[in-house]
Amino acid sequence: MKLTESFYIRKNVPLIARQMLGKVLTTKINQQVTSGIIVETEAYSYKEKGSHAFKGMTKRNEVMFELGGRAYVYLCYGMHEMFNVVTNEAGKADAVLIRALEPVLGIEIMQERMKANASARITSGPGKLTKALGIDRKLNGEDLKKNIIWIEDPGIKIKPAAIACSARIGIDYAGEDALLPWRFSIKGNKWISKK
């Protein structure tokens, strides 16, 4: 069943990011269903310099300031769409970046979408999984309770010992906050993004 507000609207964003491992992200776009198990995430809090929300609200990040349980999608490096889940209550702009998935449904559809750059590991990275699942900025602000993009709990329990945590990737600009161990992944999973 779908995750509800009681999951998303909590204060502890690293905890939410960790608990998102093993959940299933699904999109239904143009009647095409694609999904994957979340195997790598990163937490971002408005209180630390790694977050887009650290300096306050802008046109780009305004959905981060809405109530938890929505999609925050933005363009990075002029070519990659990035998908985040907004968490916490309105005004407290926390988010979890989904960095990698293990494909489950619609694998052929994903391969078709990735055709231009045919790689075997179609969902192993934040820019790739959005393309594979058809996620783009049109979904910015989309409510995850609806039937376009959502996350379900398949009831798989991930043991604490099976979770790796480390510093987040690609945020050197955040100074000492770049060292926070807020990147989580399922140990040994083949679909984790490359180093």
Partner DNA sequence: TACGTGATCACG
Partner DNA sequence: GTGATCACGTAA
Binding site for DNA (CB under 7 A): 42, 44, 50-53, 55, 58-61, 72, 74-80, 82, 84, 95, 97, 117, 119, 125-129, 168-171, 173, 193-194
Supply the DSSP string of 18-48, one letter for each residue. Answer: HHTTT-EEEEEETTEEEEEEEEEEEEE-TTS
Complex with DNA: residue 55 or 146, whichever CB lies closer: 55
Complex with DNA: residue 29 or 100, whichever CB lies closer: 100
Complex with DNA: residue 35 or 45, whichever CB lies closer: 45
Calculate the CA 149 to chain-centre distance.
12
Nearest approach, Cβ of 57 to DNA (angstroms)?
A: 9
Complex with DNA: residue 77 or 160, whichever CB lies closer: 77
Give the C-alpha separation, 153 to 84, whole Å.
Answer: 17
Per DSSP (E only), the strands in 88-176 are 94-105, 149-152, 163-166
Give the C-alpha separation, 116 to 83, whole Å.
Answer: 21
Other beta carbons within 10 angstroms of residue 90's beta carbon come to 11
Nearest approach, Cβ of 85 to DNA (angstroms)?
A: 9
Cα torsion 131, 95, 144, 192 to 10°: value is 40
Nearest approach, Cβ of 165 to DNA (angstroms)?
A: 16
Nearest approach, Cβ of 83 to DNA (angstroms)?
A: 8
Give the C-alpha separation, 17 to 179, whole Å.
Answer: 16
Nearest approach, Cβ of 46 to DNA (angstroms)?
A: 9
Complex with DNA: residue 133 or 186, whichever CB lies closer: 133
